[in-house]
Amino acid sequence: MPTYDYRCKSCGQTFEYFQSMKDDPITTCILCGKSGEVDRLISNGGGIIFKGSGFYVTDNKSSSSKNSESSSGSSGNSSN
């Protein structure tokens, strides 16, 4: 579930609110309690998090597959 940024028109404060994407935007400021005075802001979103191996050149292939590629690549070049 995402965290949304809101700004209250009454008190001018900005706050975050954790809610489902299916939920309607909130209409009451959680800081001052005024109803109908809240705007949802457009945010830059969250960053991408890469977990696990396979994101670096050294993690992509095992040493045995590197050796077989280099031998097949060199034989293709010598036939020209």
More confident residue, 59 or 30: 30
Q: Is residue 21 part of a domain?
A: yes
Q: Give yes or no for residue 60 having a pLDDT over 90.
A: no
Domain enclosing residue 10, as ranges: 3-40
- Tally of domains in the chain: 1
Q: Is residue 53 part of a domain?
A: no
Q: Give yes or no for residue 47 having a pLDDT over 60.
A: yes
Q: Which of 31-35, 42-46, 70-74 has the lowest mean pLDDT?
A: 70-74
From the list 4, 51, 53, the residue with the least C-alpha distance to 24 is 4
Q: Is residue 72 part of a domain?
A: no
Q: What is the pLDDT of residues 17-31, one digit of tens each?
A: 998 889 999 999 999
Q: What does the block give as tokens for 64?
A: 């045995």
Q: Give yes or no for residue 49 having a pLDDT over 80.
A: no
Q: What is the pTM of this model?
A: 0.52
